[in-house]
Amino acid sequence: MATTTLTSDTFEQTVVENDIVLVDFWASWCGPCRQFAPVFEAAAEQHQDVVFGKVDTEAEQSLAAAAQITSIPTLMAFRDGILVFAQPGALPAQALEQVITAVKDLDMDDVRRQLAEQQDGDTTQG
């Protein structure tokens, strides 16, 4: 499956409606972004069960700001609509593969429990 261009109109729906979504925040003038692009594309071809989205931070400045992107490329991974990974920098193919495997292997019941505990902690402090 090829990568999908995500915009402020399609980002949330894509993340919520798919089990696993990897998002590459990039810009055409960014050298490391151009180096990472073929690695990301190759992974998209290998993992048909994962949605690979790309956000052009120049065209989608409000979306990049909402995602708090301060450095590109930045890779984000969502599972069941929950952000489970975010890291700036171009990853080599092997490291990207490790991220994909780790995201697929997550125990989402445990992730949701941890999030609930964090939110409970946030409301009781203050």
Determine the straight-line distance between the first and last CA of the chain, rounded to whole angstroms.
47
Over residues 47-84, the pLDDT tens digits come to 999 999 999 999 999 999 999 999 999 999 999 999 99
CATH for the stretch 4-124: 3.40.30.10
pLDDT reported for residue 119: 87
119 a catalytic residue: no
Q: What is the full DSSP assignment across 50-111?
A: SEEEEEETTTTHHHHHHTT--SSSEEEEEETTEEEEEEESPPPHHHHHHHHHHHHH--HHHH
30 a catalytic residue: yes
- Which residue in the list 6, 22, 23, 30 is annotated as catalytic? 30
Residue 124 has pLDDT above 80, yes or no: no
Are 111 and 77 a contacting pair, CB within 8 Å?
Answer: no
Taking the alpha carbons of 91, 92, 95, 101 in that order, is the dihedral positive or negative? positive
Over residues 13-43, the pLDDT tens digits come to 999 999 999 999 999 999 999 999 999 999 9
- Which residue in the list 33, 72, 91, 96 is annotated as catalytic? 33
Pairwise pLDDT comparison (33 vs 124), residue with the higher score: 33
Over residues 99-121, the pLDDT tens digits come to 999 999 999 999 999 999 988 88
Domain boundaries, the chain: 4-124
**What does the mean pLDDT of the chain come to?**
94
Are 85 and 20 a contacting pair, CB within 8 Å?
Answer: no
pLDDT reported for residue 30: 97
pLDDT reported for residue 123: 64
pTM for this model (two decimals): 0.92
